[in-house]
Amino acid sequence: MSNLATLPKNGGLANKNTASNFPLLSTWFDDFSLNDFPSLFSSNFNTGITLPKVNIKEVSDAFIVEMAVPGLKKSDFNINLENNILSISAELKEENEEKNKGYTRREFGYSSFKRTFTLPETVNDSKINANYSEGILLVHLPKKEEAKQKPSRTIQIS
């Protein structure tokens, strides 16, 4: 959570009722910390995959996106490019059913994520490729020929 404004404790926003022995409403909220309930107030209620971490690096002829997403299969991913926006998503649905004497236990699971990236104009979008190995999704975004970094060279003085 972000603190955009600082309010004085017990101040200005609550009316004081001197005839009452109850604490002011503002003091009740001062003592109540949302940090005591981080999973309730900061969670996106997704019990499966969290938003995966991404490394993006630039090399002389390409940009490389590395995404850590262990435990998935290649077929779980959906990678799209539309109007220079690259989106990477995955969706998993799982259903387990166990039948024993007199009862049936069924468990359902659903997990998903989506990350989007605005690509620079220098990316050659017709040559983008992706590879998934050992829990790392690697997306190779080659640069257009005119945007590639040229190797340095020595210029002779005449």
Please give the span between the terminal C-alpha atoms of the chain, in angstroms, as a whole number: 64
pLDDT of residue 55: 94
Counting beta carbons within 10 angstroms of the beta carbon of residue 41, is it exposed (0 to 12), middle (13 to 18) or buried (19 or more)?
A: exposed
3 state DSSP class of 92: strand
Distances 38 to 1, 35, 50 between C-alpha atoms, Å: 10, 5, 15
Interatomic CA distance for residues 107 and 93, integer angstroms: 11
pLDDT tens for the 158 residues of the chain, in order: 444 544 445 444 444 444 445 555 444 444 444 444 444 444 444 445 578 999 999 998 999 999 999 988 999 999 999 999 999 999 887 777 777 777 777 777 778 899 999 999 999 999 999 999 999 999 999 999 887 777 888 888 98
Tell me the sheet residues that pair with 102.
none
pLDDT of residue 115: 93
pLDDT of residue 138: 96
Structure tokens at 90: 């995955």
pLDDT of residue 97: 77
pLDDT of residue 77: 93
CATH of domain 54-146: 2.60.40.790
Structure tokens at 110: 């659903």
pLDDT of residue 107: 77
Phi then psi for residue 117, to 5 deg, are: -140, 130
Q: Which amino acid is at 127?
A: K
User: What contacts 77, CB < 8 A, 6 or more positions away?
Assistant: 69, 88, 89, 90, 130, 132, 137
pLDDT of residue 158: 86
pLDDT of residue 48: 52
